[in-house]
A and B are shown apart, each in its own frame.
Chain A
Amino acid sequence: DIVMTQSPDSLAVSLGERATINCKSSQSVLSRSNNKNYLAWYQQKPGQPPKLLIYWASARESGVPDRFSGSGSGTDFTLTISSLQAEDVAVYYCQQYYSTLYSFGQGTKLEIK
């Protein structure tokens, strides 16, 4: 099974500043056949279901503000919020969909400093 580990567990960032969340997989989620990383990022606000932000490690879902970006390859990935807004307070999860047991990271709680 692929284990996903996020860091940090929680993060406090000032409004307008950059927020960076890391995600590491226990084995590569890069497919050699199509050169795509099978890694997604979700945002979950209190009392709401998760919302897809990023797929294929760096493809932004339609309607997601461009301050959200994903990067990385193989086993190491990053979600970056370039300029934190108040509405970005949430828990963020990475998920691999490379293996058939689609594991999530433990989540990173993002707050305003």
Chain B
Amino acid sequence: EVQLVESGGGLVQPGGSLRLSCAASGFTFSSYSMNWVRQAPGKGLEWLSYISSSSSSMYYADSVRGRFTISRDNAKNSLYLQMNSLRAEDTAVYYCAREGSASYSHYWGQGTLVTVSS
């Protein structure tokens, strides 16, 4: 069974940093590209970032480019999102998602809540 478990969320002050993790199991992690998607309270889904299976390609939404960095450790079956210079508008539930046969998100984690507030 595919499982994705996010962690690392919490309360952080504006301008601060946070590192999210996503632990993957139930599939060959190194064979799949991964994405981060977020959802602000009461709002819709926002795609944030993509990383290919070998980390050779990474893409970012304009809203986070230059502040967030996606990475992965295939040996640890883990995906990461380093978030710097956090703003109030970054407050959201952050989901990691595994791609399917193409770049749609086939499996999703339960999400981790990030709150940016003073």
Contact = CB atoms under 8 A, between A and B. Distances in A.
Nearest to B57: A100
B27 interface: no
B102 A55 contact: yes
A107 B50 CA distance: 21
B61 interface: yes
What class of interface size applies to chain A in its complex with B?
20 to 34
**Residue among A97, A102, A104 with the most chain B CB within 10 A?**
A102
Contacts of B100: 52, 55
Interface in A19-76: 38, 40, 42, 44, 49-52, 55-56, 61
A105 B47 CA distance: 10
A102 B50 contact: yes
A40 B104 contact: yes
B71 to A, nearest CB: 17
Contacts, number: 60
B47 A103 contact: yes
Interface string B47-87: 10010000000010110000000000000000000000000
A100 B59 contact: yes
Interface string B85-118: 0000000000100001111111111110000000
A52 B45 contact: no
Contacts of A50: 37, 45, 95, 105, 108
Chain A at the B interface: SS class? loop
B44 A107 contact: yes
A111 B100 CA distance: 29
Contact of B44 (A52, A61, A104): A104
B47 A95 contact: yes
A101 interface: yes
23 contacts: A1-B62, A38-B103, A40-B104, A49-B95, A49-B109, A49-B110, A50-B37, A50-B105, A55-B100, A56-B102, A93-B44, A93-B45, A95-B47, A97-B103, A100-B50, A100-B59, A101-B61, A101-B62, A102-B50, A102-B103, A104-B44, A106-B44, A107-B45
Interface of A: 1, 38, 40, 42, 44, 49-52, 55-56, 61, 91, 93, 95, 97, 100-107
